[in-house]
Structure formats: structure tokens, C-alpha cells
């Protein structure tokens, strides 16, 4: 049975919900969410949204900070577009009912500062901005009569005209196959336009700040469908993830350093002044490498982020979520420094798109962390990610509203007539664990040619094993995610091997110097499967 909609949105984070709300009055929409709508990286975002909102700041400064953080690889036109549209994006969120933290006199938004920013320009909702934004938009999406939400469903693969007919003159996206995790059945969804808003791929690493749903699904599906990807080697490791056996992926916001938090060794000594003149407010790649260096040099399990010199009232006002969570774990951050380690946080590369979010395939869009827009370059500036979701969500929505209607022929149903129930699932759990461990050890904050070569060799072996399993047995959510993670891991490693320099988030011991010319890494499926 085929379900038909005007627009299919795969992913329920800020990017997907923004598009949905922009077009829902005139389009019938289906949102596919792997778990509940609230289970997304957007919901976990603590920091805020970067935007020029006061007279001391300027769009040029926001642009310059973004370009500097991106280490020469940001697209200048896209950077200007996003910085220019930032104020409008914040205004749209406010119009949706999002309540950002205001100054004590309520006269204006309270703006904080984060690493890499030359000004205070981060509008936020205390230290749980993503949750505040996601909660409000999710409520509006659920109430809209033109939006159908399929929770606990996972997209399996895109349906394209060239998959149906290799002689098709133009490759168009016609919809997707989607697994209903309740029933185990695969449904066919046809759509005029399909949007990939599936987030990043942090779960390819052993330690990550990302939720469990961040398995690179959109990137992998787009690649298999024929889209190019770019800059996949640039994985941002957030410098400060809480180090605690009972704290799963809990992030200590960059804003804590912006408000005076200091990084210290176990004996209380500060170390950032030795690594960078910007000290704790250096960009994330610099801080993460500094922490990694100190931990390896001294054999440490973690370093410490200290905010104890600030009054308790200040801490509770600015970081209520972090204060409460740490207290639950026995850490009073007003009296004790917080144990922290770097963890995989954000994918700066992804599916190549233009300023409207359009991919290489007609009627297929990619928005947010799934996409490579050119904004982040070799390293994302803090709080530009939620901003990108809203800005590109709005530009893509406008493009979809003006797109001409297509005639979609009958789509083939999912065929599982030649597969059986899996005899054992241990292959999936074992492979998942092995992949995440060697990606952490071989393709982490500091890389070498030998480590990358070893990683690629293991990926190819595991990929072949999983593909055989995929071909012979009925699919499951875990199998789909593992297949996607292996594909994304391969793209990350292939991209890292091809970059013979150290730039931004990619640091190679074998190639420590910076090339004179900054060139994006672009991979095309035709070069691999022709």
C-alpha cells in the first residue's frame, strides 16, 4: 500500500519542523520520526542561537567570526545569507511562542557569548534552548490538520526515478520506503518533494553528545541515491562533555566558558593560556585538541571546568539545567569543578546543497546537520547550528511552495519475498560496538595515515558482512542504523585520507601544516560505483 503526500519530511528536529510549519497551510505533509518528535539533537541543544541583536554588534562581525572558525573553508555568500537572516529567524521563533531569556528589566533578550564569538550575540532560553524551541514547534506541528506524524518509523531508502529505471533522463526523488517499528512492516510513501532533516552521525563514535537517533541516515540514503557529499572529515568534538559513569552524553554548554568558566588540571592549574591567546574562549577545535593533548600527556581520564568563583545565584540563573543534573550526580558545581572530556558533537560536512537546500537530485532537499551548505567550513562556530536549521528551513520552504507539481507514477512496493527472519542479532550489536570503538581510536581528534588506513580496512570488512546480512534477512531499526553508520564512517575516513593537511577539525600528525589554498573535500557516488 502506498501513502501519498505533497511533502515527505524525514526527521523531526528543528530543521524538519521549521519547514513543516512554513508550508503546512497549503501542503499535505508527512513527518517521519524515528522515535518521538522530541527525540532529536535539536532538543538536546543547550547553548542558543547566534544573531546580531544589538547596536554594538554587526553582521560583518558575525560573518568574520564564522569565517575564522571555519578555517578558510566557509562559503562567503552562504555565511552572509545566514548572518543576515539570523535576526529574522529569531523573530519567527518568537512569533511561534518561543520564550527566550530576557534581561532582568525585561527590556531585551539576554545575550551570552561563546567560544569564537567576538561579541555577546547568543540568544537563549536559559541553558536549554533546544528544548524550549523544540517543545513549542512540536506542539504546533501536532495541532496542524495538514501534518501527519509517523513516530517510531525509520526511513529505509529513498525511491528515485533512476532506481526504478536506469535510463531515466533525470534523477528525481519520488518518496521513500519507511519501516514501521510497531509492526515491522515497510510502507511506501510517495511525495512531490522529500526533505532529509535527519541530523548528524555522532553515534559513529564511542563517546558523543548526540542522542541515539544520530546515525547519519540522511547522509547515507542521499549517497546511495546518487548525491554528492562534502567535508565529511570535519567532525566537531565538543570540548566539554560531562565525565561521569552515570551521565550518558550530557553536554556542559559552551556558554559556561563564555560566562567565565575556567579549564583546569586536577591540581587546579589552568592550561588554556599555554595553548591559545583566546584561552577558554578559543574555538571548539582548539579547545578540544588542547584537552586531548593534556589528557594524553599526563595520563588523565578528564580535566575540569571550574565555575565556582561565580555566585550560586548567578549559576542557578544562567545554568539551571546543568546545575540540577550535576547535583543529581553528586557534583555541586558552585563548590566543585566539573569533570569533562571531549566527545563527538557535530558533523560539519554532509549532503551537498545550494542556498535553497536543494541536493543533486530533483525534488530532494537536505537541511540542518544532514547537509553541507558551506556555512561551517572546517569548524562550526558555536550556536550557528540551530540558526542554520531555521534559516535554511525557511529558504527551502519557500522553494517548495513555488515548485511545480509533478506526476508520480505507481511506485514499487517493498519486496521481502526472498528474505527470512534473522537467525541471530549478535552480528548487529557486535559490529556496532566494534565500529564505534575503532572510529574513536583511529578517526578521532588527532589522526594519522596509518590509523585511517586501518579504519578503512575494518569498515570494508564490516560493510560486506552487514550487506550480506541485509540482503538475506528482514530488516530492523538497528540493522538500518548500522548499515547507515558504516556508510557514513566510510565517507568520513575516505574524506580524511584525501586531505593531506591539518585544517580546522581535521588534525593529522603526518600532515601538520596548512595548505595555502582551502579546498572542500567533495565525494561523488559515480566515482565509487561507476
Match 511562542 to its residue by C-alpha cell: 97
| Of the candidates 238, 271, 275, 274, the residue with the CA atom closest to the CA atom of residue 254 | 238
- Measured over all CA atoms, what is the biggest interatomic distance in the chain, rounded to whole angstroms? 68
Long-range contacts of 63-67 (CB under 8 A, 24+ apart): 64/118, 65/116, 65/117, 65/118, 65/381, 66/375, 66/377, 66/381, 66/384, 67/377
Neighbours of 109 (CB within 10 A): 20
252 Rama sector, left if φ>0, alpha if ψ -120 to 50, beta otherwise: beta
426-509, CATH topology level:
Methane Monooxygenase Hydroxylase; Chain G, domain 1 (1.20.58)
402-461 pLDDT, tens digit per residue, is: 998 887 778 988 988 777 776 667 888 899 999 999 999 899 999 999 999 999 999 999
What pLDDT score does 469 carry? 87
- Bigger pLDDT: 105 vs 243: 243
Q: Does domain 239-343 sit in CATH 3.40.50.2300?
A: no
Q: Where are the beta strands (DSSP E) in 34-102?
A: 49-50
Question: Where in the chain do CATH 3.90.700.10 domains reside?
Answer: 239-343
CATH architecture, range 2-233+348-401: 3-Layer(bba) Sandwich (3.50)
Cα 80 off chain centre by: 21
Q: Which residues pair with 236 in a beta bridge?
A: 346
Query: Percentage of the chain surpassing pLDDT 70?
Result: 97
SS3 assignment, position 525: helix
Range with lowest mean pLDDT among 42-51, 352-361, 394-403, 428-437: 42-51
- Residue 351: pLDDT band (50, 70, 90) is very high
- CATH 3.50.50.60 region(s) of the chain? 2-233+348-401
Per-residue pLDDT reduced to its tens digit, 377-389: 999 998 999 999 9
Residue 106 has pLDDT above 90, yes or no: no
Q: Is 284 an active-site residue? A: yes
Catalytic pick among 121, 284, 463, 499: 284
Q: Do the beta carbons of residue 242 and residue 250 sit within 8 Å?
A: yes
- Helix %, strand %, coil % for the chain, to 5? 40, 20, 40
Residue 35 reports pLDDT greater than 90: no
pLDDT one-digit tens code per residue, 281-294:
988 888 998 999 99
Q: Which residue has the higher pLDDT, 78 or 162?
A: 78
CA dihedral 330, 334, 336, 339 (to 10 degrees): 80
Number of residues assigned to the chain: 530
Partners of residue 235 on adjacent β-strands: 347
Q: How many CA atoms lie within 13 A of 262 on its CB side?
A: 12
- Position 230 scores a pLDDT of 98
Residue 343 has pLDDT above 60, yes or no: yes
- pLDDT confidence of 530, banded at 50, 70, 90? very low
Q: What is the pTM of this model?
A: 0.90
Average pLDDT of the segment spanning 270-299: 92
Q: What is the pLDDT of residues 60-71, one digit of tens each?
A: 999 999 999 999
Question: For residues 455 and 397, what is the distance between their CA atoms, to the nearest angstrom?
Answer: 39
pLDDT digits (tens, 9 = 90+) for 144-192: 999 999 999 999 999 999 888 877 788 999 999 999 999 999 999 999 9
Whether 492 shows a pLDDT value over 70: the answer reads yes
Distance CA(230)–CA(214), nearest Å, equals 18
pLDDT at position 177:
97
User: Under 8 Å CB-to-CB from 269, ≥6 apart: which residues?
Assistant: none
| Cell 536559559 -> residue | 126
What is the rounded distance in angstroms from the CA atom of residue 52 to the CA atom of residue 62? 7
What is the arithmetic mean of pLDDT over 2-26? 95
Q: What is the mean pLDDT of the chain?
A: 92
What is the C-alpha separation between 130 and 124, in angstroms, rounded? 9
What are the residue ranges of helices labelled H in 96-196? 129-143, 161-164
Measure Cα distances from 37 to 43, 102, 201, 394, 411 in Å: 9, 27, 18, 19, 27
Return the closest-CA partner of residue 333 out of 349, 314, 350, 351.
Answer: 314
Higher pLDDT, 115 or 309: 309
Q: Tell me, what DSSP letter sits at residue 515?
A: P
Grid coordinates 573535500 are at which residue?
A: 521
pLDDT of residue 44: 61
pLDDT in tens, 467-484: 988 888 889 999 999 999
For residue 385, what are the CA distances in angstroms to 44, 47, 343, 366, 487?
Answer: 12, 10, 17, 14, 23
Question: Quick check: 425 and 478 in contact, CB under 8 A?
Answer: yes
pLDDT above 70 (res 528): no
Exposed / middle / buried, residue 182 (Cβ in 10 Å: 0-12, 13-18, 19+): exposed
Residue 240 reports pLDDT greater than 60 = yes
Amino acid at each position: 500500500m502506498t501513502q501519498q503526500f505533497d511533502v515527505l519530511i524525514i526527521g523531526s528536529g528543528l530543521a524538519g519542523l521549521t519547514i513543516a510549519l512554513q508550508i503546512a497551510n497549503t501542503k499535505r505533509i508527512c513527518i517521519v520520526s524515528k522515535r518521538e518528535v522530541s527525540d532529536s539533537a535539536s532538543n538536546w541543544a543547550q547553548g542558543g542561537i547566534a544573531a546580531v541583536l544589538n547596536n554594538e554588534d554587526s553582521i560583518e562581525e558575525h560573518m568574520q567570526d564564522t569565517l575564522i572558525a571555519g578555517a578558510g573553508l566557509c562559503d562567503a555568500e552562504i555565511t552572509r545569507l545566514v548572518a543576515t537572516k539570523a535576526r529574522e529567524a529569531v523573530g519567527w521563533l518568537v512569533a511561534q511562542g518561543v520564550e527566550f531569556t530576557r534581561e532582568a528589566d525585561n527590556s531585551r533578550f539576554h545575550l551570552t557569548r561563546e567560544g569564537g564569538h567576538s561579541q555577546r550575540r547568543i540568544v537563549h532560553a536559559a541553558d536549554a534552548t533546544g528544548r524550549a524551541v523544540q517543545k513549542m514547534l512540536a506542539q504546533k506541528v501536532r495541532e496542524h490538520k495538514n501534518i501527519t506524524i509517523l513516530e517510531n518509523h525509520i526511513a529505509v531508502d529513498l525511491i528515485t526515478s533512476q532506481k526504478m529505471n536506469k535510463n531515466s533522463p533525470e534523477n528525481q526523488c519520488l518518496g521513500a520506503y519507511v519501516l514501521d517499528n510497531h509492526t515491522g512492516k515497510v510502507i511506501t510513501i510517495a511525495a512531490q518533494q522529500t526533505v532529509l532533516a535527519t541530523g548528524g552521525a555522532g553515534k559513529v563514535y564511542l563517546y558523543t553528545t548526540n542522542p541515539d537517533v544520530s546515525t547519519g541516515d540522511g547522509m547515507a540514503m542521499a549517497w546511495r541515491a546518487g548525491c554528492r557529499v562534502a567535508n565529511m572529515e570535519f567532525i566537531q568534538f565538543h570540548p566539554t562533555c560531562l565525565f561521569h559513569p552515570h551521565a550518558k552524553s550530557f553536554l556542559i554548554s559552551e556558554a559556561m566558558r563564555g560566562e567565565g568558566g575556567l579549564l583546569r588540571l586536577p591540581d587546579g592549574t589552568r592550561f588554556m593560556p599555554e595553548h591559545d591567546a583566546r584561552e577558554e574562549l578559543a574555538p571548539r577545535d582548539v579547545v578540544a585538541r588542547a584537552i586531548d593533548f593534556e589528557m594524553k600527556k599526563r595520563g588523565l581520564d578528564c580535566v575540569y571546568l571550574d565555575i565556582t568563583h561565580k555566585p550560586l545565584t548567578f549559576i542557578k540563573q544562567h545554568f539551571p539545567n546543568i546545575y540540577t543534573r550535576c547535583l543529581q550526580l553528586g557534583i555541586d558545581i558552585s563548590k566543585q569543578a566539573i569533570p569533562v572530556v571531549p566527545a563527538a558533537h557535530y558533523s560539519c560536512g554532509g549532503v551537498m546543497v545550494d542556498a535553497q537546500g536543494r541536493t543533486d537530485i530533483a525534488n530532494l532537499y537536505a537541511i540542518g546537520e544532514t547537509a553541507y551548505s558551506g556555512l561551517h567550513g572546517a569548524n562550526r562556530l558555536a550556536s550557528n547550528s540551530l540558526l542554520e536549521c531555521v534559516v535554511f528551513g525557511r529558504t527551502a520552504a519557500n522553494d517548495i511552495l513555488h515548485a511545480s507539481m509533478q506526476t508520480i507514477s505507481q511506485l514499487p512496493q517493498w519486496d521481502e519475498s526472498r528474505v527470512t527472519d534473522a537467525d541471530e542479532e549478535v552480528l548487529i550489536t557486535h559490529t556496532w560496538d566494534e565500529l564505534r570503538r575503532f572510529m574513536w581510536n583511529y578517526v578521532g581528534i588527532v589522526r594519522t595515515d596509518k590509523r585511517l588506513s586501518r579504519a578503512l580496512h575494518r569498515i570494508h570488512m564490516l560493510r560486506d558482512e552487514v550487506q550480506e546480512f541485509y540482503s538475506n534477512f528482514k530488516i530492523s531499526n538497528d540493522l538500518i542504523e548500522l548499515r547507515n553508520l558504516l556508510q557514513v564512517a566510510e565517507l568520513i575516513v575516505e574524506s580524511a585520507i584525501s586531505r593531506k593537511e591539518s585544517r580546522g577539525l581535521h588534525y593529522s600528525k603526518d600532515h601538520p601544516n596548512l595548505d595555502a589554498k582551502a579546498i572542500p573535500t567533495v565525494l561523488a557516488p559515480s566515482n565509487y560505483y561507476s
